[in-house]
A and B are shown apart, each in its own frame.
Chain A
Amino acid sequence: MKRALIPLIIFLVVVGFLFKGLFLNPREVPSPLVGKPAPQFSLARLDAADATFSPKEMLDKVWLLNTWASWCAACKDEHPLLVELAKSNFVPIIGLNYKDNNQDAQKWLDEAGNPYAINAVDADGRVGIDYGVYGVPETYVIDKKGLIAYKQIGPITMEALRDKIVPLIKQLQAQ
């Protein structure tokens, strides 16, 4: 009788693993950059092509680096949230305009509102590679020392903002 239960137990263990697997997201590849310094770069700004932006300028501030593109549909999903967040003046949002066309990018911002304090133009995606971007949108929370504290893969959702990002920024700002 006891022996007959063994296959059943093995079956249940396998079912347990598979059930857990249903809720894992294979697209979320944990970034090895969390806890490491945000890669440095110097890129032209979207609003002023002759000026540049570099993460060094943001030292001593907690800030968000949001990669986006006008061709990216998921970026449009998170856009209203970014606009709201920017209105609250809670945290500066820097845009990394990834492999986009400047006119299209500017047109989208004019239409939908511009939540970005500054937009850096990463036309060939090189800086994106340095940051380990593999699909826009991705958002990095960067602390006062310039270390990456968190990476949001995919669009920022209300839940992610409320449960993770905002508490984390508050904590980092208090440091």
Chain B
Amino acid sequence: MLNKLLNIFVACFLMHALSLNAQEAQPMQNNAAVEEQVQRLSTQLRCLVCQNQTLADSHAALAQDLVQEVREMATKGMSDQEIIDYLVARYGDFVRYRPPLKSSTVLLWLGPFALLVVGGFGLFLQLRRRQAMAADAPLTEEETRKVRELLNK
């Protein structure tokens, strides 16, 4: 019985290991610089079908087409910026994982810092008020005596 289970386990493990190697054939690209550029860009570009994945992560057909498109542009010697501009012209800024700083995205970029400043200011005011509230009140003689008594117990 145990032996059987072990066999199944080993079979499963082997199958899993095989499937890890079963990736889709990528077009051969002998230019390492181009391939490096494609890799770099495809981690910065969004797959529009599966919106929380980059082109590099996604297996959607469109993502693979777009990677291929990027590869062709890279082969032609286009720069990162030119390739991103090409895709932004077609799909909009949403295709970029890192949105550019413009008037419509100012809140996105600066909002967290603004909140930090507002929160810090609020905290500062609060602490100052608390300090003012707890002004030093000297102990009366009677109180001092009681404290001593307690401490000496």
A-B interaction: yes
Of the listed stretches B10-18, B88-96, B142-150, name the one at the interface; the rest are far from the partner chain: B88-96
Verify B92–A132 contact, CB threshold 8 A.
Answer: yes
Measured between beta carbons, the chain B residues less than 8 angstroms from A129 are 65-66, 69, 90
Interface positions of B from 85 to 121, Cβ below 8 Å from A: 88-94
A interface residues with partner B (beta carbon < 8 Å) = 26-27, 29-33, 99, 124-126, 129-132, 134-135
Q: Report the bound CA distance from A131 to B98 in whole Å.
A: 22
A-B contact pairs, 6 of them (CB 8 A): A29-B94, A31-B92, A32-B91, A32-B93, A33-B90, A134-B91
| Residue from A26, A99, A124, A132 within 8 A of B91 (CB atoms) | A132
Verify A134–B49 contact, CB threshold 8 A.
Answer: yes
Q: Which residue of A lies closest to B95 (CB)?
A: A29
Q: Report the bound CA distance from A129 to B49 in whole Å.
A: 13
Query: At the interface, yes or no: B61 with Cβ under 8 Å from chain A?
Result: yes
Measured between beta carbons, the chain B residues less than 8 angstroms from A135 are 48-49, 62
Query: At the interface, yes or no: B51 with Cβ under 8 Å from chain A?
Result: yes
Q: Report the bound CA distance from A30 to B48 in whole Å.
A: 12
Verify B51–A26 contact, CB threshold 8 A.
Answer: yes
- Closest 8 CB pairs between A and B? A134-B48, A132-B90, A32-B92, A29-B94, A132-B91, A125-B65, A134-B62, A29-B92
Q: Which residue of B lies closest to A99 (CB)?
A: B61
Q: Report the bound CA distance from A51 to B61 in whole Å.
A: 28
Verify A32–B89 contact, CB threshold 8 A.
Answer: yes
Q: Report the bound CA distance from A131 to B62 in whole Å.
A: 13
